[in-house]
């Protein structure tokens, strides 16, 4: 089993958390979170096994798909509350 501590997290390494904010949070604040998550998941699936370990790339793609699902669920909830 790999060490998933923040310092050794291959999906969200420390260099994505500079300035007290995760890069993905800044991207979502720009309003392009869903598109970014979709594109990034495709990128990791596209290169699966050609750059990093296949399993690591699959986990990275899954992380972005899960993040996309969370964003879509939040958007749907906000729409329903606004009705």
Q: What are phi and psi of 2, to 5 degrees?
A: -85, 155
pTM: predicted TM-score of the whole model, two decimal places: 0.79
What pLDDT was estimated at residue 2?
Answer: 42
Domain ranges of the chain: 20-82
Supply the pLDDT for residue 35: 96
CB neighbours of 80 closer than 8 A, spacing ≥ 6? none
**Mean pLDDT for back-to-back runs of 10 residues, the chain (83 residues):** 58 79 90 96 96 93 96 92 87
């Amino acid at each position: 089993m790999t060490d998933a501590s923040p310092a050794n997290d291959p999906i969200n390494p420390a260099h994505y958390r500079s300035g007290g904010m995760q890069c993905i949070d800044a991207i979502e604040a720009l309003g392009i979170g869903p598109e970014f998550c979709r594109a990034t998941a495709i990128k990791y699936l596209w290169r699966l096994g050609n750059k990093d370990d296949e399993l690591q790339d699959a986990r990275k793609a899954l992380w972005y798909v899960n993040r996309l699902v969370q964003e879509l669920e939040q958007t749907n909830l906000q729409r329903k509350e606004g009705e």
